[in-house]
């Protein structure tokens, strides 16, 4: 009897003592905060019609048509998708107590703007967006990335501590608000330089949603 009691206690202990995040979890990691126009959501091969406050999971792929979409994650990071965008939440882990994060996304087409929440205030934040030509990561910031100008990847920072853009050919650092880089497929990211006002404005307007 004592042996079975010990086994039962061990099972309960293992079931209740869980890590701050779990690999492959289906638990919600945030929600859709705002929808404008036609949008889509693919989850594990199944098409879902999203609505305001639809909960998000790892692996979700979001698409927009002529409208746009705003996401809010558990650490209060906000990501706005422009029109004609495909964006995937590859991985999202955030542990406030341990002060760790592991957030990874994919921009397949279109454009996005991200304003990091609590993750951006961590000592060593991990928040990256992968694209077909380069990966961009933050050090706590408001930044933008997309393919809307001439088909190449453009990345800009509006405020914050910095953004890095890297691929197999090199890496570039954005350190000042208003700076941006361009990545042509098969080439290293350009050096950061101040964008003209018209380019900044167009980038901002691409991810503005109607109230």
The residue among 15 and 182 whose pLDDT is bigger is: 182
Name which of 121-130, 162-171, 183-192 the model is least confident about.
121-130
The answer to whether residue 12 is domain-embedded is no
The answer to whether residue 17 is domain-embedded is no
Number of structural domains found in the chain: 1
pTM: 0.85
The answer to whether residue 64 is domain-embedded is yes
| The pairing of beta strand 39-43 with beta strand 46-48 | antiparallel
Give pLDDT tens digits for 153-173.
Answer: 999 999 998 999 999 999 999
Q: Are the beta carbons of 156 and 190 closer than 8 angstroms?
A: no
**What percent of the chain has a predicted confidence (pLDDT) above 90?**
78
Give pLDDT tens digits for 80-101.
Answer: 999 999 999 999 999 999 999 9
The answer to whether residue 97 is domain-embedded is yes
Residue 169 is classified by DSSP as: T
CATH of the domain at 173: 2.60.120.1440
Q: Are the beta carbons of 101 and 92 closer than 8 angstroms?
A: no
The answer to whether residue 142 is domain-embedded is yes
pLDDT-derived band at 210 (thresholds 50, 70, 90) equals confident
The answer to whether residue 16 is domain-embedded is no
User: Which domain covers residue 102, as residue numbers?
Assistant: 24-206
Residue 102 confidence (pLDDT) above 50: yes
The answer to whether residue 73 is domain-embedded is yes
The answer to whether residue 19 is domain-embedded is no
| The pairing of beta strand 135-138 with beta strand 141-146 | unpaired
Sheet holding 46-48, edge to edge: 46-48, 39-43, 61-64, 86-95, 100-109, 127-130, 135-138, 163-167, 170-174
**What percent of the chain has a predicted confidence (pLDDT) above 70?**
88
């Amino acid at each position: 009897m004592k042996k079975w009691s010990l086994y039962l206690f061990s099972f309960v202990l293992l079931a209740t003592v869980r890590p701050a995040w779990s690999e492959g979890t289906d638990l919600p990691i945030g929600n859709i905060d705002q929808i404008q126009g036609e949008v889509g959501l693919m989850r594990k091969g199944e098409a879902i019609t999203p609505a305001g406050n639809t909960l998000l999971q790892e692996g979700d792929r979001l698409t927009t048509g002529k409208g746009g979409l705003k996401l809010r994650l558990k650490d209060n990071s906000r990501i706005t998708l422009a029109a004609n965008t495909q964006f995937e939440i590859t991985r999202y882990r955030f542990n406030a107590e341990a002060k760790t994060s592991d957030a990874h996304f994919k921009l397949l087409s279109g454009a996005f703007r991200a304003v990091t929440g609590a993750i951006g205030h961590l000592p060593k934040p991990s928040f990256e967006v992968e694209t077909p030509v380069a990966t961009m990561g933050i050090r706590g910031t408001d930044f933008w990335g997309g393919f809307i100008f001439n088909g190449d990847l453009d990345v800009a920072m509006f405020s914050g501590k910095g953004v890095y853009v890297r691929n197999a050919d090199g890496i570039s650092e954005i350190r000042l608000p208003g700076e941006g880089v361009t990545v042509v497929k098969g080439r290293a990211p350009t050096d950061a330089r101040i964008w003209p006002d018209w380019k900044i404005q167009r980038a901002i307007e691409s991810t503005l949603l109607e109230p």
